[in-house]
Chain A
Amino acid sequence: MQALAPVELPRYLLTGPLPERQAGDSVDQRPLVAIPNLGNYSIAFTSVAEALGVRAWAATRTTPEAMKLGLEAAPESACLPFKAYLGLFIQAARAGVKYAVMVNSVGTCRLRYYRGLFQQVLDEMGFDMYVFGLGYDGLKPPLVRYFDPRPWPFLKWVGRAAVKMAVVDDIELAAWRTRPLELEPGATSRVMSQCLRELDQSASKRATQSLRADVPRRFAAIPVDPERRPFRVGLVGEVSVLRDRYLNHDLEDLLGRLGVEVRNFFLLGAELGNIFNLGTRNPNSRKRLMEVARPYLGAEVGGHAVESVAHTIRCAEQGWDGVVHVCPSGCMPEVSIRPLLRKISADLDIPVLPLSFDEHTSHVGVTTRLEAFVDVLRDRRRKDCQ
């Protein structure tokens, strides 16, 4: 196995390749664990890794190199996130990372088998990497049992991870609102990148909280045109494509620049609350969403199918301008509800743009379709005004 093969750094690679050992240096000896990326939430996941006493190998977006490695190794018809995650793991394994983490054992779709297939492919390629599953098997999942962190630091870091997750949510929400109004294209994305970088580097809870307090001011300082009336569009669909800006071709950015205020319906903080059904009044609990989706969808299909249907209905009822439904090409749950979204679109009079992504998706193709979609929204608004 090649050790420490040169690896190009992703844009926000949070933990680089193992540092070169210099005379007299004390090298961080803690093991590295590769974590599948979930957009900017990877920043919070690195804190969870700290809690376990390990270092995270993670990125906030898939790199073209990782994608290439994944495509070469993955079964041809596996879904896009599988290929992206596998590429990240191979990249990590080539750099000497020995462990990786993947959710498993839950759900009805292909995600359930990701871990096993990752392990098989990595073994067949001759890498010495173990992929931990995050199944529910008692209080301590295998990952925690294996690294066996001391309880107090563990809880402290998990607490920090939760705060970081909330700050990521704040940054995202502020960026979605500001981007369509910005006078200088790209200003919002720059502020966002800076905030995320600082969040990644903030080592104490106090630093994180003061950053959180500063986020609204920073976004407010971006010069905007308050006269603009941005279109409001909901983003629904499969999580990794919703969240990984490489896989979705910077969808939020593209829409923002076209004058659209997006609302990505996957916010991790809220999502965890939905999964564990925290808060009795949570309007996004699985049960509530199922009630909303019921007229069109009679069962939980799996993945985020219920969420996609329910949020599309809600967007229509709340007078949003449109919905963009994204998923990896051939996604089992999301593709099976596409006909329902078409019906909702017709019944409730809301434009729904279905976008599927695979490794052959062209950036120009996505841009063209989004531009056409925004033209439709503009046309509808003009007709409404007449």
Chain B
Amino acid sequence: MEGAAGVIPSAEMKDHSCRPDRVTQPTQQGSVAGRAGAGSVIGVPRAIFYYTHPHLWETFLSGLDLPVVVSAPSTEVTVRTAARISEAEHCLPNKLFDAHLHELGPAVDRVLVPRILSTVRGHIACPKLAALPDAARVLLAGQRASVLSLEVDENRRPLLDSLADLGLELGAPPDQARAAAEGAIAAMTAAETRATDAAGESAGQRPVLILGHPYTLGDRYIAGPILGKLKRMNVPLQVMSFSRSTVRESFVKWDTSAKMYHQLLEVSPAGWAGVVQITSFNCGCDSMMIELFRSVARDRGVPYMVVMVDEHTAQGGLETRIEAFVDTTAERLARSPRPAAAGW
């Protein structure tokens, strides 16, 4: 993906195209596939949970020897489809999810739509994700594909167990189900760690911290132009880490918002040139959190900008704002030289 400096998990993922001829074949001619119905292809929409759990779903389903199709990355066409079929008041990631689902509907037998209630213990997910499988059923009514779902609630059951249960439900023997679940979680953790390592590479110059939900930063259509512009201006970027270990208990209960909050608390003018938060129009979590983040950034003395993206966002407006922000950070740099000691 352009400009993401290889730090977003999705950027380096295998390109599973939605076209039936690009279906990834199971590594072994699976007995599971036979049990689940020969040629039973499972689709994974490239939206929301594809980014909150990078590599997890495809690795897991491949581990069960089931053919997987991931919908193609969002484009202008996806956005147009979303505008046509989705609920007008949804946030952009949710609209894009609907469009990806729509794309998979005629191409696969089942679409995986997990019900995400919590991805980090002690926290809750955005409430919109709780109704996602139900909304998907409505959207796919009358189409070839049906909805395959599982509940992801780290407060009630670890992800490993939930995945293993899904494996059993899909007809895999217990050993294979558990192995596939373990493999998938390992792949996800590796992807998250890799992202963090890559992010730490911009040594020398103070980087700009990029905040946002994984499905906002990961989606090429939403974050691509912004990250690309910053990259073209030679601004060192560090995309926030989505590693589950960064989250501590606090009053911020939404899981990704908590990740953003705790990373923002670590930011200091000595180490960072600024913070850019990428958000989408009608994002409920961000609408409350941005005021909090703004006050934290102000207390820390770090420039902070929010870029809101919706389906009408014009490139020209984006460029001007980003250039102005980068000018601000450069000016601050000129005015106050970097303190010798890190910290504040």
Contact = CB atoms under 8 A, between A and B. Distances in A.
Given A112-B253, A120-B291, A302 B284 contact: no
A365 to B, nearest CB: 15
B242 to A, nearest CB: 20
Interface stretch (A46-54, A271-279, A332-340): A332-340
Interface string B138-157: 11010000000101000000
A298 B135 contact: no
B134 interface: yes
B287 interface: yes
A85 B282 CA distance: 20
A110 B130 contact: no
Interface string A300-337: 11110100000000000000000000000111110111
Q: Which among B130, B151, B295 has the greatest number of chain A C-beta atoms within 10 A?
A: B130
B90 A335 contact: yes
A332 B132 CA distance: 12
A301 B127 contact: yes
B131 A301 contact: yes
Interface in B192-226: none
Q: Which among B253, B285, B291 has the greatest number of chain A C-beta atoms within 10 A?
A: B291
A109 B131 contact: no
B190 interface: no
Contacts of A305: 127, 131
Contact of A340 (B131, B283, B291): B131
A75 B127 contact: no
Contacts of B308: 77
Given A298-B115, A299-B117, A339-B135, A108 B90 contact: no
Nearest to B116: A299
Nearest to A299: B130
A343 B141 contact: yes
Contacts of A124: 295
Contacts of A209: none
Contacts of B94: 336
Given A301-B131, A305-B131, A330-B89, A75 B287 contact: yes
B128 interface: yes
A73 to B, nearest CB: 11
Interface in A211-269: none
B126 to A, nearest CB: 7
17 contacts: A75-B287, A77-B282, A78-B288, A110-B285, A296-B134, A298-B133, A298-B149, A299-B117, A301-B127, A305-B127, A336-B127, A336-B130, A336-B135, A339-B139, A340-B138, A343-B138, A356-B89
Given A305-B127, A337-B135, A342-B138, 8 more contacts: A77-B281, A109-B127, A110-B285, A116-B292, A117-B288, A299-B131, A302-B130, A331-B284
Interface of A: 75, 77-79, 108-110, 112-113, 116-117, 120-121, 124, 296-303, 305, 329-333, 335-340, 342-343, 356
